[in-house]
Amino acid sequence: MIATLVTDDDLANWNGDARLFKLDDPFDGWHHVVVERFAEDTYVYPAHRNGGAVPHPSGGLSPWRTYPAPCDHAQALREMGYEVRGA
């Protein structure tokens, strides 16, 4: 399984250090995720190819995975079983 960085430019509507990745083997059916890093946690959200968030099945925009600091973008994806490229 491979996660390739699409962009680390400023993604619209994200508060933390957010990066968009394309996944080769989808995550819960989604081919893109946004990994958003804050000082205390790193969050993973399924996303549309433009970096827009996908609502959580239970409602709202809750992250589908959460990892405590000092976990960075690549480490969060490795925890999910992906080899990370371009990050």
Tell me: the pLDDT tens digits for 21-33?
A: 999 999 889 999 9
pLDDT for residue 54: 84
| Number of domains making up the chain | 1
Query: Domain range for residue 9?
Result: 2-85
pLDDT less than 70: residues of the chain: none
SS3 64: coil
pLDDT for residue 61: 80
Whole-number Å distance between alpha carbons of 73 and 40: 13
pLDDT for residue 20: 94
pLDDT for residue 3: 97
pLDDT for residue 28: 86
Question: Could you tell me which of 15, 21, 27, 87 has the C-alpha nearest to residue 51?
Answer: 21
